[in-house]
Amino acid sequence: MAQDPGEAPALDELLARAHVVTLPMRVRFRGLTQREVALIDGPSGWGEFSPFLEYEPAEAAHWLASAIESAYGTSPLTHRDRIPINATVPAVPPGQVADVLARFPGARTAKVKVAEPGQTLADDVARVHAVRTAVATVRVDANGGWTVDEAVAAAHALTADGPLEYLEQPCATIEGLAELRRRIDTPVAADESIRKADDPLRVVRARAADVAVLKVAPLGGISALLAIARQIDVPVVVSSALDSAVGIGAGLTAAAALPELRHACGLGTGGLFVEDVAEPPLARDGFLSVGPVVPDPARLEALRAAGPRRDWWLRRIADCYPMLR
């Protein structure tokens, strides 16, 4: 839940503390070749405001609440000091899979993007097969790109040469996820059906998911994520929303605060950036360490967004501010 504006710092203070940067990416991901991010340097640490460009203020306000919590709030009690991560494989040709996986040293799990517009199920099968030859545990993410019938066919095709840990958001609707669960044996995970829903718990009540993929910023912050996790009876995977190192740090803290963590988390996406605002944390044996992230001033300066883009992001913060609740 977003923060009460009465408890939030003044808008002028947020704008004065904001740094807008542009992070170049190694490969196209979600159609992006660069990621614009606004960072807030607060008294408690750094917060990240980076809703995707198409998000309207009502949705983006959750991301602002998350940034404010990280910059001004207190950290939760944690139960572990390192988090297992999965490799993230964009919708690349099979020949590029090895190069992508090399950026996730020691990862025992890989999440593979599928159902990419303009590609076919055969492309997905070839990509998953290439990943499976290198990584023991494979999950796929369709971002709601399939109908139920398409998801059934994809589940059979993608498991022909081995199991999948789960299908992440194979269908766009909760009803579609619930029907799919009844028709296939592969577990189903929900992402958008939680983070984009007015009622994030509805997907679990509808028995539409075996796993909940939770992301800090879209849910309104670490506290909101942990509150949802306490109310659901399925395992939780904490994942990145293509965050900078600052947002990854918040995700690692959230994962560390969960009482139980059964699955690798999708927090290794820093490897998708050519440059980041802080030295990317090094995965050791498939784990990332938990700890605060402080951007490097030299990197902030080198990656600083051009004036018009900085102004656009500051206006966006101002547009979202009245919607904090």
Q: Do the beta carbons of residue 236 and residue 258 sit within 8 Å? A: yes
> pTM for the complete prediction?
0.93
Distances (CA, A) of 143 to 3, 81, 84, 115, 153: 28, 30, 22, 8, 16
**pLDDT tens per residue, range 154-177:** 999 999 999 999 999 999 999 999
pLDDT band for position 2 (cuts 50, 70, 90): very low
Q: Is 113 a catalytic residue?
A: yes
| DSSP-assigned states of every residue in 263-291 | S-BB--GGGGBSS-SSPPPPPBTTEEE--
Q: Which of 19, 111, 113, 316 is catalytic?
A: 113
Residue of 103, 127, 132, 215 with catalytic role: 215
pLDDT in the model for residue 200: 83
All structural domains of the chain, each given as residue ranges with its CATH number in brackets, are 11-75+297-323 (3.30.390.10), 82-289 (3.20.20.120)
pLDDT digit string, tens, across residues 9-28: 999 999 999 999 999 999 88
Residues 6+ apart with CB under 8 A from 130: 94, 95, 97, 98
Asked if 38 and 48 count as a contact pair (C-beta separation under 8 A), the reply is: yes
CA 275 to chain CA centroid, Å, is: 18
- Is 286 buried (19+), middle (13-18) or exposed (0-12) by CB count in 10 A? buried
The pLDDT of residue 283: 87
Pairing of strands 287-289, 109-113: unpaired
Complete DSSP assignment for 10-37: PHHHHHHTEEEEEEEEEEEETTEEEEEE
Q: If you ran DSSP here, which 8-state letter would residue 321 be given? A: G
Whether residue 111 lies in the annotated active site: no
Please say whether the beta carbons of 189 and 209 come within 8 A. yes
